Amino acid sequence: MALLLKVYPVPLVTIRLVKPGLLNGVKTRFYAWNNGDPPKELNGLHPLAEVISPRIDFTWFEKPHEKITSEKFIAEFKGFIKIDEPGVYRFYVVSGNGVLFSVGDEILIDTWSSQESRIHSSPEIRLNKGFKRIVLLYYNRARHSEVRLGWVKPGGRVEVIPDDRYYFSIGEHVFITGLPDGYVVRMLPLKDVSSEKTCVSLMNICMVEVPWREQPLEAYVSIYNREEKVFARFSEPLVFFGGDEYIVEYLGGNQH
C-alpha cells in the first residue's frame, strides 16, 4: 500500500513497499550443551544449525538435524504469528522436557525442567489484530523428542497453529530508496518502547536499524531536505519489519 502526500507547491510524493522483509515460516536454530542443566539464556551458545520451518509441529525419533545429536539439544523457534481475529487466546505446547514460550516481552509458559511428554498451557491473553513476536525454547535430553505449538482461539476452537500464521523477518534494517543524497528520514514510533530513528540518504539509500525486539515497528515517517526543512510528512503510520525495502516516488515536479 502506498501513502500519498501533497508537498507544496509540488510534487505528490509516495512511499511504497517494494520488497517485504517478512516471509512465511519460523526461524529455527539448534544448539547443544554439554554439562549440567540446559541454559535458559542462549547468549553463550552458538547455533550449530539454522533452518526455516513452516510451523512448530515436530516429532523427532532421531536427531532433528544432521549437525545435531539426538540428545542434549535446544531448539529455538523465533518469529511472528499473525492474529486476524482479535480476542482472548490461550496457547499450549505439547512436549517432553523443558519449554519456555513468550509472546512479545511476556513469558506465558515456563516449564524448564525434565519431564514426561504432556500439555503445557498458558494463561489467557487478549490479543489485537496484527503480528505478534514469539519465541519458543525447547530442550531435549533423550533420543525421542516432540514439540508442537497450538492455541485456543476466541470462541473455543483448539488447533495446532497452522502454517499460514507463522512469519519471520530477514534482518534488522529497513531500507528507504529513491531519495537524494543528504535527505534525512525520521521515524517516530507510536509506542514508547522504541526511540525515534533517523538515517541520512547516501547513494540514494537510507538504512534504519530496527532490532528484532522492536519489530513490528509502527511509526510515523517524515523526510527532510538538505536544508533541514520538511520535504514530506506522512499522516498515516507505517509498519516496518527488518529487511523491508521502501521507495519514495515523485509524481510530477522536481524531486530536488
- pLDDT level of residue 88 (50, 70, 90 thresholds): very high
- pLDDT level of residue 252 (50, 70, 90 thresholds): low
Of 40-44, 48-52, 91-95, 119-123, the range with the lowest mean pLDDT is 40-44
Decide if 190 contacts 196 (C-beta within 8 A): no
Decide if 168 contacts 78 (C-beta within 8 A): yes
Decide if 102 contacts 134 (C-beta within 8 A): yes
**Cα separation of 66 and 245, whole Å?**
34
Q: Is the pLDDT of residue 100 over 90?
A: yes
The C-alpha cell that represents 92 in the structure block: 499450549
pLDDT at 8: 43
pLDDT at 251: 73
Q: What is the mean pLDDT of the chain?
A: 90
**pLDDT, average across residues 181-203:** 91
**pLDDT, average across residues 212-238:** 93
Q: Is the pLDDT of residue 103 over 50?
A: yes
The DSSP annotation for 119-144 comes to EEEPPPEEE-SEEEEEEEEEEE-SS-
pLDDT at 102: 97
**Cα separation of 3 and 5, whole Å?**
7
Fold of 3-21+170-251: Immunoglobulin-like (2.60.40)
pLDDT at 195: 85
**Cα separation of 155 and 158, whole Å?**
9
Q: Is the pLDDT of residue 203 over 50?
A: yes
The domain segmentation of the chain, as residue ranges, is 3-21+170-251, 23-169
pLDDT at 71: 84
pLDDT at 193: 67
Q: Is the pLDDT of residue 238 over 80?
A: yes
Check whether domain 23-169 has CATH 2.60.120.1560, yes or no: yes
Residue 148: how many other CB atoms lie within 10 Å: 17
Rounded to two decimals, the pTM is 0.88
Of 63-72, 116-125, 203-212, the range with the lowest mean pLDDT is 63-72
Residue located via cell numbers 539509500: 205
Report the candidate in 248, 254, 211 with the shortest Cα–Cα distance to residue 17. Answer: 248
